[in-house]
Amino acid sequence: MTLKQEPETAGALAESTKDGPKDVPERPTYAQVRQFVEDVTFLREREGRAATAADDDAEVSPIAVLRASAARLLEDRDQLLEELRKLETSKLRAQKLLASFGRL
């Protein structure tokens, strides 16, 4: 018994539907594949930038703002204490000068 081989046709691989055979999907062209790859690359880069922006936004979270404010307040307090020490030193000098004028 010999098997006869039927020639392949486009319709032979097509799926059948109630309306008849369905067309075989075309293979994508090189340009279509390349465009798809470029689109995927673009979307991944955009996701990466969005993730980076989200990280930057996380630094602007309320806790981060409070920490930054607390650090600035501590710096301001240190500067004010230094100014107060300078003023007290100046006050003592002024009192000594006044006392020396009173002796004259």
- The 3-state secondary structure of 32-75, one letter per residue: HHHHHHHHHHHHHHHHHHHHHHHHHHHHCCHHHHHHHHHHHHHH
* CA 77 – CA 67 distance, rounded (Å): 15
Q: Are 21 and 11 in contact (CB under 8 A)?
A: yes
Q: Which residue did the predictor score with more confidence, 47 or 15?
A: 47
Res 2: pLDDT: 52
- pLDDT, tens only, 28-78: 888 888 898 999 888 888 888 887 776 666 566 788 788 889 999 999 999
Residue 80: band (very low, low, confident or very high) from pLDDT cuts 50, 70, 90: very high
Strands (E), the chain: 16-17, 20-21
Res 73: pLDDT: 94
The structure tokens 């880069």 sit at 45
pTM of the model: 0.38
* CA 103 – CA 71 distance, rounded (Å): 49
